[in-house]
């Protein structure tokens, strides 16, 4: 299984496989309906407007948990593509600030790796709906990359 993940990542890097395949192998990512768009080497993650992800029916607004899960998964895929020996990173902690209501519309996310160490990665994730400059949420997360004692 891990070998097939490695092969898939290799293929994604070479442009021989779609990044979407990487997302679609994760059941929870399919549950949320996450999509990814690659422009050159830049990845934008998309959480398409979906009534299943609604948290506040009156507004209506997306569930904060769905947005958080989307951002966490975006970061995991992002790091996987940066790793020399790709292995699904484990989330150590995830901290999110909600800045605006996530309205019932498409949501986008981009990731920035602040530090990619041998064992730990620190990632910043930003999500927006109308304009990139107006994020609805920002998050910071740490991931465990390897459990080897070195």
**Rounded-to-integer distance, Cα 115 and Cα 36, Å:** 23
Residue 68 lies near another protein (rule: CB under 8 A): yes
- Among 42, 85, 93, 148, the residue binding another protein under the rule CB under 8 A is 93
Residue 54 lies near another protein (rule: CB under 8 A): yes
Please give the angle made by the CA atoms of 102, 73 and 12, to the nearest 5 degrees: 125
CA distances from 104 to 67, 69, 99, 124 (A): 11, 16, 16, 24
- Among 22, 43, 53, 86, the residue binding another protein under the rule CB under 8 A is 53
The site for another protein, by CB under 8 A, has a size of 40
Query: Within 10 A of 47 (CB to CB), how many other CB atoms are there?
Result: 27
User: Of how many residues is the chain composed?
Assistant: 150
Strands 54-56 and 61-62, sheet pairing: antiparallel
Stretch that binds another protein, among 14-22, 56-64, 104-112, 125-133 (CB under 8 A): 56-64
**Which is closer to another protein, CB of 49 or CB of 63?**
63
- Among 13, 91, 117, 118, the residue binding another protein under the rule CB under 8 A is 91
**Contact positions toward another protein, by CB under 8 A?**
1-2, 5, 25-28, 30-32, 51-58, 62-66, 68-70, 72-73, 76, 88, 90-98, 101
């Amino acid at each position: 299984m891990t070998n097939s993940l490695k092969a898939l990542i290799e293929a994604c890097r070479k442009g021989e496989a779609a990044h979407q395949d990487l997302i679609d192998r994760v059941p929870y990512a399919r549950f949320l309906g996450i999509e990814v768009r690659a422009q050159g080497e830049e990845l934008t993650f998309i959480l398409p407007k979906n009534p299943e992800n609604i948290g506040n029916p009156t507004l209506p607004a997306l569930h904060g948990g769905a947005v958080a899960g989307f951002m966490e998964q975006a970061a995991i895929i992002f790091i996987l593509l940066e790793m020399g020996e790709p292995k699904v990173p484990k989330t150590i902690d995830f901290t999110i600030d909600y800045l605006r209501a996530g309205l019932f519309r498409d949501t986008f996310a981009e990731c920035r790796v602040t530090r990619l160490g041998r064992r730990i990665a620190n990632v910043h994730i930003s999500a927006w709906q109308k304009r990139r400059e107006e994020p609805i949420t920002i998050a910071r997360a740490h991931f465990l990359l390897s459990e080897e004692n070195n």
